[in-house]
Amino acid sequence: MTSMSRARVARRIAAGAAYGGGGIGLAGAAAVGLVLAEVQLARRRVGNGTSPHVPNADGLYGRTYTGPADAPLRLTMLGDSTAAGQGVHRAGQTPGALLASGLAALAERPVELRTVATPGARSDDLDRQVALVLSDPGPVPDICVIMVGANDVTHRMPPTRSVRHLSSAVRRLRTAGSEVVVGTCPDLGTIEPVQQPLRWLARRASRQLAAAQTIGVVEQGGRTVSLGDLLGPEFAANPRELFGPDNYHPSAEGYATAAMAVLPTVCASLGLWPAEEERPDASRREGFLPVARAAAEAASEAGTEVTAAMPSGPRGPWALLKRRRRRRVPEQEPTPATPSS
């Protein structure tokens, strides 16, 4: 599918989500039987799931930066197993811990991490997760990171419904005063053991959903980062997770890759990224585009950021497409958060 075709489909999905339209199928009804047959074959070929253990990474990071005027930045992770960090054994290997460590180092302030993400969650679980975040008696998070979408595809949730729930979550968090960064649906077509046509359908479905997610998020004032095929090697190494009860579980290296793709956008949303890198760089194919076209291009290239740029234009809302440099930060373990007095 071309970028322009993906942009048109994404625009229709996002419009259906915004105006309460019915489900727009990611695969034709005639293909459903074939897809289900492929799923059953894939289940037999790739075996069972792995341990449901999720390390508890919540706590205070960057305690050495604490000073009399340095209240911790508050970071909250929402979404599915990718946001929770399922599949690794150490808290410091989870994406939340990696983001908190990196944010603390770049901001030179402590960061308090809270995770409400749930393995196996789909976008309709974001309603519950956001309620948990907003019911906390403390201040709202400075930044919320959402990673969601893979389970929507594997469970064939209508994309309009998926985008509607995600957009609602972003709107509620932004209204409460939190910045929001969304890691969009990863490319599920990278799983080698799964045969055609399921792999092709999975790639098309996940990229279409990622593009539609981008439109919905940007229109609500959030930013997106395309995970695309960043996790491709992890899907290939752990293919059984796609169809298992807990879905995919990237390795520590996979989570580090995803976290480092998201970290620059997290920092930029808080005004912590170098000002010279905020200007679009034409040599890296950055620039202002209609939001649907920016969303389609981002879905095709992992690590690409999309953020709102202009209220509207003759071709609809516009967005800034950025390809930020990723910087690796040292892994840290959390320290227990100090109870508020």
Q: Is 278 helix (H, G, I), strand (E, B) or coil?
A: coil
Q: Is 155 a catalytic residue?
A: no
Q: How many domains, in total, are found in the chain?
A: 1
CATH number at residue 254: 3.40.50.1110
Q: Is 261 helix (H, G, I), strand (E, B) or coil?
A: helix
Has residue 157 been placed in a domain? yes
CB 148 within 8 A of CB 121: yes
Q: How confident is the model at residue 328 (pLDDT cuts 50, 70, 90)?
A: very low
Q: Is 53 a catalytic residue?
A: no
Has residue 145 been placed in a domain? yes
CB 116 within 8 A of CB 65: no
Q: Is 249 a catalytic residue?
A: yes
Has residue 137 been placed in a domain? yes
Which comes out higher in pLDDT, residue 102 or 319?
102
Has residue 337 been placed in a domain? no
Has residue 300 been placed in a domain? yes
Q: Using CA atoms, how far apart are residues 56 and 35, in angstroms rounded to an integer?
A: 36
Has residue 77 been placed in a domain? yes
Q: Which helix (H) or strand (E) holds 310?
A: strand 304-310
pLDDT at 200 over 80: no
pLDDT at 292 over 90: no
Q: Which of 229, 246, 269, 300 is catalytic?
A: 246
Q: How confident is the model at residue 234 (pLDDT cuts 50, 70, 90)?
A: low
Domain that holds residue 86: 59-323
User: Alpha helix locations (H) across the chain?
Assistant: 3-19, 29-46, 81-84, 95-107, 126-135, 150-154, 159-176, 198-219, 232-237, 252-269, 291-300
Has residue 230 been placed in a domain? yes
Q: What is the mean pLDDT of residues 96-101?
A: 95
The predicted model scores a pTM of 0.81
What is the DSSP secondary structure assignment for residue 125, as one 8-state letter?
G
- pLDDT score for 296: 84
Q: N- to C-terminal Cα distance for the chain?
A: 56
Q: Which of 81, 162, 226, 269 is catalytic?
A: 81
Q: Which of 58, 167, 178, 249 is catalytic?
A: 249
Has residue 117 been placed in a domain? yes
Q: How confident is the model at residue 201 (pLDDT cuts 50, 70, 90)?
A: confident
Residue-wise pLDDT tens digits, 254-278: 788 888 889 999 999 999 987 777 7
Q: Which helix (H) or strand (E) holds 307?
A: strand 304-310
Q: In the chain, what percentage of residues exceed pLDDT 70?
A: 69
Mean pLDDT of the chain: 77
pLDDT at 336 over 60: no
Q: Which tokens is 257 given?
A: 């890759």
Phi first, then psi: give them for residue 321, nearest 5 degrees: -100, 125
